[in-house]
Chain A
Amino acid sequence: MPENFNRHLVELSHINKTFNAGSVNEALLFENFNFSIERGQFISIVGSNGSGKTTLLNLICGSLMPESGSILFDGRDITKMPEYRRSAFIGRVFQDPATGACPSLTILENMALADNKGKKYNLTPGVSKKRIDYYKQQLEMLHLGLEDKISMPVGLLSGGQRQALALLISTLTPIDLLILDEHTAALDPKSSENVMELTDKFVREKNLTAVMVTHNLRYAVEYGDRLVMMHKGTAVKDVAYHEKDACTVEDLLKTFNQISVECGN
């Protein structure tokens, strides 16, 4: 094991984040918040609206900046690094299937763009003919027949197809961390199931560290190595591995209800 090996891929320490600072709507979300992600871990995060799940993802990805505190990635301080530069090692799939690819470009063009991530976007041909077979091979893994539609604009695909493609695109080049932001929430049950199975497969096969926010308690229980329940900017429940395996949907619902009672809802 190298000397500087760090068990944690991501470490958020002493994070403070307030929304609408200085206005009447000021809302303190994170106060001295600490959170770390172990290398190779697949984390599911659940929690009610406004509990801080998506804000946590936004802080990791750089879409939001904390007021104070630090974010370490692989031991490197990335607190001030802009979102687009973090994208070099973080892949992200959003809830809205329209955000994962370009609707007016073809599947092939989208794949070629993604394939070039981290390299220069210069005046060489956008789609390399030599890579087409490789793209088709990758698309076959989705079992949606997209490998036969590579010249079709992505805008013509269904939400489920687009989300599966978005998942493939975000993991096409080697990344260290995959962020899944309620990525099955906008899909019908069957597509949702398919995308979830693909997610699990990709995370295992490509050996990714992944953080998934979901409202689907069953997915949170069934998939992943660690389960975190967020409430008002704190992790009220955080279980991993065999402790997590013992966790059921009923347990989660019970915790949810307890929180609600405490809040007087």
Chain B
Amino acid sequence: MVFSLIETVFREGFIYALMAMGVLITYKILDFPDLSVDGTFPLGACVAAALITLGMNPWLVCIAAFLAGAFMGSITGFLHVKLGITDLLSGILVMTASWSINLIITGGTAIFQFFKLPTIFNSGLANALPSALYAHRQVLIVFLLAVIVKLALDAFLKTKSGLLLRAGGDNSRFVTSLAHHPGHVKILGLAIGNGCTALAGCVLAQLNENADVNAGKGMVVMALAAVIIGTGALRRVSFLKLTTMAICGAILYKACLQIALLLGLPPTYLKLLMAVLLTISIVSQKIGKKGGALNA
């Protein structure tokens, strides 16, 4: 019982870690409060459902979902950078528009089911696993995905483009002085962030074998909490990369929710608890910073 509970925490933790790493790019590195995540998470799920029903390879579906999310993210960036709409409102516009887009993809149904079709959890790689591990294939596959995305992001952040992205969040004036449009860096970051988010939605849909257009509610809050908890709790561990911190944050966060449910919290209170957890993590981070300044 305890073991299966831990496995649930890790399974869900690694899925939401994909999104947390995306939000790490927008919120932590670019300093952009991106609300479009609430729309791009179910977008990934809906894209997965539609393409798997059409018979596409489930791993290719993951890439397609990433691209769909990246496209929506770049629209958030376009609204903000090119049309001068505030960051929060740009995200809200894309989030609202995604609602319709997701319903169009699912053909109007709120829950699009695709039972017994090949997904990343029941075909190809999953079937190649030794029989002893087959029972744990879900957690193993999401772990593999989280590691792949982490390594890809780490490598990206060391490229010229990645360095410029980090510079953009840090000091956009510096990007200007490098003869580069600081807004274009933001658009790129939002594309990557929402691509990762849609990928998380896609993986969750493949796990559940259905896409829920309502799955996005509270995703921003969840992802932000994961990022803030991860980077806050582990900031003194200097050798850890930010992406690792985001993964740990997502798992810690899922653990908190699971424990609360285990202690008898009715699921109705879940979103309330999510909001409270984010509030606590932001406030505790602020207190931590003040303490640091006083000690210095």
Contacts and interface: CB of A to CB of B under 8 A. Distances in A.
Interface of A: 82-85, 87-88, 91-92, 94, 98-105, 109, 112-114, 116-118, 120-127, 170
Contacts of B176: 83-84, 87
B137 interface: no
Interface string B148-178: 0000000010111111101100110111111
A125 B160 CA distance: 6
Contacts of A100: 174
B159 A99 contact: no
Given A84-B176, A113-B163, A127-B163, 20 more contacts: A83-B176, A84-B179, A84-B181, A87-B176, A87-B178, A87-B179, A94-B173, A109-B163, A109-B166, A112-B160, A112-B163, A114-B178, A117-B178, A120-B160, A121-B160, A121-B163, A122-B161, A123-B161, A125-B159, A127-B158
A122 B160 contact: yes
Most buried by B among A87, A102, A127: A102
Nearest to A92: B177
A92 B177 CA distance: 7
Nearest to A89: B179
B293 to A, nearest CB: 14
B164 A113 contact: yes
Most buried by B among A82, A84, A116, A127: A84
A68 to B, nearest CB: 24
B13 interface: no
Contacts of B182: 84
A158 B161 CA distance: 28
Nearest to B164: A121
Nearest to B158: A126
Interface string B171-198: 1011111111110000000000000000
11 contacts: A84-B179, A100-B174, A101-B174, A103-B170, A105-B163, A105-B167, A109-B166, A117-B179, A120-B160, A121-B163, A126-B160
**Majority DSSP secondary structure for residues of B touching A:** helix
Contacts of A121: 160-161, 163-164, 178, 180
B170 A102 contact: yes
Most buried by A among B160, B161, B167, B181: B160
A103 B166 CA distance: 10
Contact of A98 (B158, B171, B177, B178): B171
B171 A102 contact: yes
Listed from nearest, the 8 A-B pairs whose CB atoms lie closest are A126-B163, A88-B179, A102-B170, A87-B179, A121-B164, A121-B160, A102-B167, A84-B176
A115 to B, nearest CB: 10
Contacts of A170: 177
Nearest to B183: A84
A103 B171 contact: yes
B160 A118 contact: no
B24 to A, nearest CB: 14
Given A113-B167, A123-B159, A125-B159, A99 B178 contact: no
Contacts of A124: 159-160
A160 to B, nearest CB: 18
A94 B178 CA distance: 14
Given A85-B179, A117-B178, A101 B171 contact: yes
Given A87-B179, A114-B178, A126 B159 contact: yes
Contacts of B167: 102, 105, 113
Nearest to B163: A126
A180 B179 CA distance: 17
Most buried by A among B156, B166, B182: B166
B160 A116 contact: yes
A83 B163 CA distance: 21
A94 B166 CA distance: 21
Nearest to A62: B176
A124 to B, nearest CB: 6
A118 B180 CA distance: 8
A104 B166 contact: yes
